Amino acid sequence: MPTPIATSIPVTHTGILGLGVYRPRRVVPNAEIVEAIDSSDEWIKTRSGIAARHWADDDETIVSMSTAAARDALTAAGITAEQVDAVLLATSSQMVLGPSAGAVVATELGMHDTAAYDISAGCAGFCYALADAANLVRSGQARHVLVIGVERLSDLLDRADRGTAFIFADGAGAVVVGAAEQEGIGPVAWGSDGSRTSAIKQDKDFQQYFAEVAAAEAGGGTTVRPYIRMNGTEVFRWAVTFLEQACREALRLAGVTAADLDAFVPHQANIRITDALVRTLDLPDDVAVARDIVDTGNTSAASIPMAMEQLLRSGAAEPGQTALLLGFGAGLAYAGQVVHLPPIA
């Protein structure tokens, strides 16, 4: 007979216990960027819905923005950092390969010997991390898990690129996941399609960039640093044709219908994608729909918690109500789940 292995006591239900966000101080209206991309405020609003975005200053780092958002999430959840057993940080714009930003944030929050790691799943990263966190709590592996979505995408922007310069932005959102009296985080519907990596990607890897630098130093060429590039048309077509089934699968797994929803919080990629999904899903008129992209831009892994906070802060939705979350983007990857909306600080 094999030796029995001890296990932690599993938890039946999980929920999002608190939410916090950080929005960088600097607000950048369309007027500040249109000249560099030979565009106009009207063109940007028509194409994306964006009127302004936040770009971080030098002191607003991945770590500092995450820490600020996390502190507010802990306050909203009514717990201390000592009660957190794991930190999951989703980002695509950490400019170093190590250490993980999650580990540094945990230390900044005063945690000691706490599990922490980063997740790279593009704009779906927050929903991926939320699913992992819920499973850690359900299994009894953790009492509370801090989930963070954070980006400084302004570091990766070619400010003259008409396809990306007006879209991407910075910010952070964090939630605390823990045990709940009733299920507050539904099963995740997720997937990816690596055949579409060219739709959103860094335009050159660092091996290529370093080779260009070496050649330039030897007098044999020029060098241009890597930037993020996007084929907006390809992403839009994929989103409006494929994501309906992802949404419906998340609803099915949670045992609810569109009519049961109080709110819809899709990744803030493009307001036309949001509007198309609302029509396709035939959402009732009284469902609150997140359109934080108008004033915040596309913050990738940070966009869903930031959009949740905007809905709650504005009063368009309330804590405890039922919402469908849907993250999608680079990979191409997607993830969605039905949740009960959390309190905010």
Q: Which tokens in the block code for residue 201?
A: 């990607």
Q: What is the rounded CA–CA span in Å between residue 70 and residue 146?
A: 7
Are the C-beta atoms of residues 134 and 110 closer than 8 Å to each other? no
- Which residue shows structure tokens 């600097």? 26
Is residue 298 flagged as an active site residue?
yes
- Which residue shows structure tokens 């979350």? 325
Tell me the CA distances in angstroms from 323 to 16, 258, 341, one per residue in order.
12, 10, 7
For residue 288, list its beta bridge partners: 263
Catalytic residue among 54, 127, 298, 340: 298
Let me know how long the chain is.
345
CA 150 to chain centre: 7
Catalytic residue among 30, 123, 144, 340: 123
Catalytic residue among 30, 54, 144, 267: 267
Burial class (CB in 10 A: 0-12, 13-18, 19+), 205: exposed
Is residue 127 flagged as an active site residue?
no
Are the C-beta atoms of residues 20 and 343 closer than 8 Å to each other? no
Sign of CA dihedral 80, 82, 84, 86: positive
Is residue 340 flagged as an active site residue?
no
Query: So which residues are the catalytic ones?
Result: 123, 267, 298
